[in-house]
Amino acid sequence: MGALGITDLKTTTMGGEYKMITGEVTVATASDTVTVTDAANHISEIHAVIAQMKTGQATSFTTVAATYSELAITLTSIGADGLAASTFGDVALLIVGK
């Protein structure tokens, strides 16, 4: 499991307290973690995460799934066979929270 930093970070406030963060990460293992913080990302609660593959799609990297718990986001990379991916690429993230 690798710890990733968000690059190309953009934050937009919407609906008063709510914020939308977009950025990119480069996944490097079958299970990587991104942690957001109030100090760095101006968000203290996550309400939704959407992950989309940008580069690297191949039979050994066909899907990326995002789950979250508190401020930690886990990105799971999956191959066409349904098993852990063996090659990786860039992933776009959209995070909604406050």
Greatest pairwise CA separation for the chain in angstroms = 43
Number of domains in the chain: 1
**What is the pLDDT averaged over residues 69-85?**
95
Q: Which domain holds residue 20?
A: 2-97
**Which has more confidence, 2 or 95?**
95
Model confidence pLDDT, tens digit, residues 1-16: 456 677 777 777 787 8
Write down the pLDDT at residue 3. Answer: 61
Residue 62 is part of a domain; what is its CATH number? 2.60.40
What's the CA gap between 3 and 63, in Å, rounded?
Answer: 19
* pTM value > 0.75: yes
Give the pLDDT band (50/70/90) at residue 51: very high
Write down the pLDDT at residue 4. Answer: 62
